[in-house]
C-alpha cells in the first residue's frame, strides 16, 4: 500500500488522513476537497460562528501547517470528477491520480427549494458550508424579518441565532410538529415552548407554497394556508441527501448512501467510505448517521482497516444541539421506541425512549448528568426501570454500578 487518496476534505476526510499518519502509514496521502477552506467543523456554522461569537481560525480542525508538516498533500478548491476503478485512478482538477486505496468522505448535500418556488432568489440560503454562512451573515440585521423553512435541528438553531441577532423570526414546518422526524412529541413540545418564549413564531402543519421576490431578491412568502407574509431573508433547513453522485457514477452499490460493510469497505474492495455519505450495518439493519462523532469514529476505523486492522465499526450514536442557553445532548437512536419517560428536574430535564423494557435513547436538555448516565447505560446494553428514571428525586448514578 503506497498511495491513499481521500475524496472530501471535511470532518471524516480530515479524521481519516490524521489517523493514517498517527497509525504510522508512511506512504503518500492526498486529501482532495472542493471547498476553498481547509477542513473545518460545521456545527458552529448554525451556532457560535453564525452568531459572530467564534473566530474563523477556531473553526479549522487543525492548523493549516499540519497538513504540510505531516506530508499530507491537501488539495483545496478541487473537485474529484470521476473514479476509474479498473485503472485505480481519480480525475481531479485536470489531473489523474493513482490510488491503492480510495476513501469517499463526500458528506452530504442540502436539499434546496426549486427555482419554480423561488429557491433561486437572492436572500434565500442553506446552511451547509462556510461560504453559505458568510453569505447569509450580513443579512442578519436587527429588525429584519427572517423566514426559516423546516423545523429540524438546523432550522431551530438558525431561528435561535436570528432571534439573538434581533431579527423577527417565523419558522414554518410542514409536518404537524417540529422535530417530528428525529424526536418524540415531548421533545418537540419542549423546544416549541422554548422558541415561542424567545419570540419566534412557530407555525406547524404549514408548508411553503412559494417565495415571492422583486428584482431577483426575496421579499416574502406564500404559505400553504394561502396567507402571504413579507420577509427579508429565508433560511432553508429541509434536510440533506448523502453525496453519492461520484460513487454512483463509478458503479458502486448505493443504499441510502454509499453502501459499506462493517469495516467501511464499499462494493469495490479498494474503495472505502465514511461519514455522512456512508450507510453501514447496524444491529441487524443498515443506517446512515449525520453527525460529527460518527464521521470521526467511522473515518478512524476505516483508516485502521485500510492498514489491515480488520475491525468492525460499532457506532455509539450521540449528537448535540445548542439553542439559546440550552444544550441538548442525545445518546442512542430512538428508532422503534414505543414510549417515553420524562425526567423533569426543573432546569435539567431528560426524555428517555424505551421499546418495551429496553432503553434506546435519551434527549437531555441542560442535563449533562442524565445524558452521561443514559449514554453509558445504552452502550452497556442496560435498561433502568422507568419508575426510577422518571423520578427526578432519585439519583441515577447508582444505576451505573
Cα diameter, the chain: 65
Q: Which is nearer to ligand FAD, 80 or 169 (CB)?
A: 80
Q: Which is nearer to ligand FAD, 79 or 229 (CB)?
A: 79
Q: Which is nearer to ligand FAD, 140 or 341 (CB)?
A: 140
Q: Supply the minimum distance, in Å, between the C-beta of residue 83 and ligand FAD.
A: 9
In the complex, which residues of this chain contact ligand FAD (CB under 6 A)? Answer: 7-13, 32-35, 42-43, 45-46, 79-80, 105-108, 127-128, 154, 243, 246, 275-277, 290-293, 295, 319-321
Q: Which is nearer to ligand FAD, 32 or 396 (CB)?
A: 32
Q: Which is nearer to ligand FAD, 206 or 241 (CB)?
A: 241
Q: Supply the minimum distance, in Å, between the C-beta of residue 82 and ligand FAD.
A: 9
Q: Supply the minimum distance, in Å, between the C-beta of residue 80 and ligand FAD.
A: 4
Q: Supply the minimum distance, in Å, between the C-beta of residue 40 and ligand FAD.
A: 8
Residue nearest to ligand FAD (CB): 10
Q: Supply the minimum distance, in Å, between the C-beta of residue 245 and ligand FAD.
A: 8
Phi, psi of 93 (to 5 degrees): 55, 40
Q: Which is nearer to ligand FAD, 167 or 292 (CB)?
A: 292
Q: Supply the minimum distance, in Å, between the C-beta of residue 223 and ligand FAD.
A: 25
Q: Which is nearer to ligand FAD, 43 or 332 (CB)?
A: 43
Q: Supply the minimum distance, in Å, between the C-beta of residue 289 and ligand FAD.
A: 7
Amino acid at each position: 500500500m503506497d498511495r491513499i487518496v481521500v475524496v472530501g476534505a471535511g470532518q471524516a476526510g480530515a479524521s481519516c488522513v490524521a489517523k493514517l499518519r498517527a497509525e504510522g502509514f508512511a506512504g503518500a496521502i492526498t486529501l482532495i476537497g472542493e471547498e476553498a477552506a481547509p477542513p473545518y467543523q460545521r456545527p458552529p456554522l448554525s451556532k457560535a460562528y453564525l452568531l459572530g461569537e467564534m473566530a474563523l481560525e477556531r473553526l479549522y480542525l487543525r492548523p493549516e501547517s499540519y497538513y504540510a508538516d505531516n506530508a499530507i498533500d491537501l488539495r483545496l478548491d478541487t473537485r474529484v470528477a470521476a473514479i476509474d476503478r479498473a485503472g485505480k485512478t481519480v480525475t481531479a482538477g485536470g489531473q489523474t491520480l493513482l490510488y491503492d486505496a480510495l476513501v469517499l468522505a463526500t458528506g452530504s448535500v442540502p436539499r434546496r427549494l426549486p427555482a419554480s418556488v423561488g429557491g433561486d432568489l437572492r436572500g434565500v440560503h442553506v446552511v451547509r458550508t462556510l461560504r453559505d454562512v458568510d453569505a447569509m451573515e450580513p443579512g442578519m440585521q436587527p429588525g429584519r424579518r427572517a423566514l426559516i423553512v423546516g423545523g429540524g435541528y438546523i432550522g431551530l438553531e438558525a431561528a435561535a441565532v436570528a432571534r439573538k441577532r434581533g431579527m423577527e423570526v417565523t419558522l414554518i414546518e410542514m409536518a404537524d410538529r417540529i422535530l417530528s422526524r428525529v424526536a418524540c412529541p415531548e421533545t418537540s413540545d419542549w423546544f416549541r415552548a422554548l422558541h415561542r418564549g424567545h419570540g419566534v413564531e412557530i407555525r406547524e402543519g404549514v408548508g411553503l407554497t412559494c417565495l415571492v421576490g422583486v428584482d431577483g431578491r426575496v421579499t416574502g412568502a406564500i404559505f400553504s394556508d394561502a396567507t402571504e407574509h413579507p420577509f427579508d431573508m429565508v433560511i432553508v433547513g429541509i434536510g440533506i441527501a448523502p453525496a453519492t453522485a461520484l460513487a454512483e457514477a463509478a458503479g458502486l452499490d448505493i443504499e441510502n448512501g454509499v453502501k459499506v460493510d462493517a469495516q467501511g469497505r464499499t462494493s469495490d474492495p479498494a474503495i472505502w467510505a465514511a461519514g455522512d455519505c456512508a450507510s453501514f450495518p447496524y444491529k441487524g439493519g443498515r443506517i446512515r448517521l449525520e453527525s460529527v462523532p460518527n464521521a470521526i469514529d467511522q473515518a478512524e476505523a476505516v483508516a485502521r482497516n485500510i492498514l489491515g486492522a480488520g475491525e468492525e465499526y460499532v457506532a455509539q450514536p450521540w449528537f448535540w444541539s445548542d439553542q439559546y442557553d440550552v444544550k441538548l445532548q442525545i445518546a442512542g437512536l430512538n428508532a422503534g421506541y414505543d414510549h417515553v419517560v420524562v425526567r423533569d428536574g426543573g432546569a435539567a430535564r431528560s426524555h428517555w425512549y424505551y421499546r418495551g423494557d429496553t432503553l434506546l435513547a435519551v434527549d437531555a436538555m441542560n442535563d449533562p448528568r442524565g445524558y452521561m448516565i443514559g449514554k453509558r447505560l445504552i452502550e452497556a446494553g442496560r435498561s433502568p426501570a422507568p419508575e426510577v428514571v422518571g423520578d427526578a428525586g432519585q439519583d441515577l448514578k447508582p444505576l451505573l454500578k
